Amino acid sequence: MSRDESLLSRLEVRNLTVAFGTNVVQRDLSFEVRAHSIFAVMGGSGCGKSTVLKAMIGLLSPATGTVLVDGEDYEAAGERRRIEIRRRFGVLSQGGALWSSMTVGENVALPLQMFTLFDASSIRALVDLKLALVGLESAAEKMPSELSGGMRKRAALARALALDPDIPFFDEPSAGLDPITSNRLDDLILELSSGLGATVVIVTHELPSLFAICDDGIFLDGETGRAIARGAPRSLRDGCGDPTVRAFMERGRRATDAARGTGS
Amino acid sequence: MNGGPLHPPEWTVQHRGPDTVLRLAGDWIACRTGVRSPADARRTVDEAGNGTLRIDCAQLGQWDCGLVVFLRMVRDRARAATGIRIDDAAVPQAARQLLALTAAATSATHGSRKVAHKSIAVRAGENVLRAGKEVGLATALVGESALRAPVALAGRARTRAVDVLQLAGEAGFGALLIVAICNGLVGDILAFIGAVQFRRFGAGIYVADLVGIAMVREMAAVMTAIVMAGRTGGAYAAHIATMQGNEEIDALKTFGIPPFDFLVLPRVLALVTMMPLLYLYGCAVGLLGGYVVGIATLNITSSAFLVELQEAVAGRQFAIGLVKSLAFGALVALAGCHIGLRAGRSAAEVGRAATSAVVAGIIGVIALDALFTACTNAMGI
Ligand SMILES: Nc1ncnc2c1ncn2[C@@H]1O[C@H](COP(=O)(O)OP(=O)(O)OP(=O)(O)O)[C@@H](O)[C@H]1O
Ligand SMILES: [Mg+2]
Summarised one tens digit per residue, pLDDT across range A146-160 is 999 889 999 999 999
Q: Check whether residue A124 and residue A107 sit in a common domain.
A: yes
The answer as to whether A94 is a domain residue is no
**d(C-alpha A193, C-alpha A47), whole Å:** 27
The pLDDT mean for chain A works out to: 87
The answer as to whether A53 is a domain residue is yes
User: What does the pLDDT read at residue B234?
Assistant: 95
How far is residue A23 from each of residues A27, B55, B108, B112, measured CA to CA in Å? 11, 39, 15, 9
The minimal CB distance from A23 to the residues B96, B113, B255 is found for B113
User: What does the pLDDT read at residue A145?
Assistant: 93
**d(C-alpha B194, C-alpha A82), whole Å:** 62
Q: Check whether residue A176 and residue A159 sit in a common domain.
A: no
- State whether A114 and B158 contact (CB < 8 Å): yes
How far is residue A135 from each of residues A106, A109, A203, B299, measured CA to CA in Å? 17, 17, 21, 77
> Given A131, A164, A197, which residue is the final one in a domain?
A164
Tell which phi-psi region holds residue B17, choosing left (phi > 0), alpha (psi between -120 and 50) or beta: left
**d(C-alpha B216, C-alpha B208), whole Å:** 12
B346 vs B50 pLDDT, higher one: B346
Q: How many residues does chain B have?
A: 381
The answer as to whether A2 is a domain residue is no
Which H or E run includes B134?
A: helix B120-153
User: What does the pLDDT read at residue B114?
Assistant: 56
User: What does the pLDDT read at residue B335?
Assistant: 92
**d(C-alpha B341, C-alpha A162), whole Å:** 26
Q: Check whether residue A72 and residue A177 sit in a common domain.
A: yes
> Given A133, A164, A195, which residue is the final one in a domain?
A164
pLDDT digit string, tens, across residues B242-279: 999 999 999 999 988 888 889 999 999 999 999 999 99
**d(C-alpha A155, C-alpha A130), whole Å:** 9
Q: Check whether residue A43 and residue A148 sit in a common domain.
A: no
> Given A110, A140, A164, which residue is the final one in a domain?
A164
The answer as to whether A31 is a domain residue is yes
Inter-residue contact B22 to B56 (CB < 8 Å): yes
Q: Check whether residue A178 and residue A242 sit in a common domain.
A: yes
Q: Check whether residue A241 and residue A173 sit in a common domain.
A: yes
| Banded model confidence at residue B380, pLDDT cuts 50, 70, 90 | confident
The answer as to whether A150 is a domain residue is yes
State which residues form the domain around A210. Answer: 9-88+166-260
Atom number of ligand 1 nearest to Cα A21? 4
A236 vs A176 pLDDT, higher one: A236
Q: Check whether residue A77 and residue A143 sit in a common domain.
A: no
Share of chain B above pLDDT 90, in %: 42
Contacts of B101 in chain A (CB under 8 A): 259
Q: Tell me the CB-side half-sphere exposure of residue B345, using CA atoms within 13 A.
A: 9
Q: Check whether residue A103 and residue A160 sit in a common domain.
A: yes
ipTM comes to 0.85
pLDDT digit string, tens, across residues A190-229: 988 888 889 999 998 888 889 999 999 999 998 888 999 9
Q: Check whether residue A256 and residue A184 sit in a common domain.
A: yes
B156 vs A170 pLDDT, higher one: A170
- Chain B interface, mutation test: which of A91, A123, A163, A172, most B Cβ atoms within 10 Å? A91
The answer as to whether A93 is a domain residue is no
Q: Check whether residue A204 and residue A234 sit in a common domain.
A: yes
Count of the separate structural domains present in chain A: 2
What is the per-residue burial (b if ≥16 Cβ within 10 Å, else e) of B94-127?
ebbbbbbeebeeeeeeeeeeeeeeeeeeeeeeee
Q: Mean pLDDT, to the nearest integer, of B212-236? A: 94
Q: Check whether residue A160 and residue A170 sit in a common domain.
A: no
Q: Mean pLDDT, to the nearest integer, of B205-217? A: 91
pLDDT digit string, tens, across residues B296-313: 988 888 898 899 988 888
- Residue A2, pLDDT above cutoff 60: no
User: For ligand 1, atom 16, which residue shows the shortest CA distance?
Assistant: A48
Q: Which of the listed ranges A165-179, A239-253, B124-138 does the model predict with the highest average pLDDT?
A: A165-179
CA distance A68 to chain B (A): 16
Kindly report the CATH number assigned to the domain that includes residue A233: 3.40.50.300
Q: Check whether residue A66 and residue A133 sit in a common domain.
A: no
Domains of chain B, each with CATH number or no CATH: 10-116 (3.30.750.24), 137-379 (no CATH)
The answer as to whether A3 is a domain residue is no
Contacts of B246 in chain A (CB under 8 A): 95, 97, 100
The number of the ligand nearest the C-alpha atom of A47 reads: 1
Report the pocket of ligand 1 as residue ranges, CB < 6 Å.
Answer: A 20, 25, 43, 45-51, 94
**d(C-alpha B54, C-alpha B379), whole Å:** 91
User: What does the pLDDT read at residue A41?
Assistant: 94
- Residue B182, pLDDT above cutoff 80: yes
Exposed/middle/buried for A162, CB within 10 Å: 0-12, 13-18, 19+? Answer: buried
The predicted model scores a pTM of 0.81
- Chain B interface, mutation test: which of A47, A74, A83, A254, most B Cβ atoms within 10 Å? A83
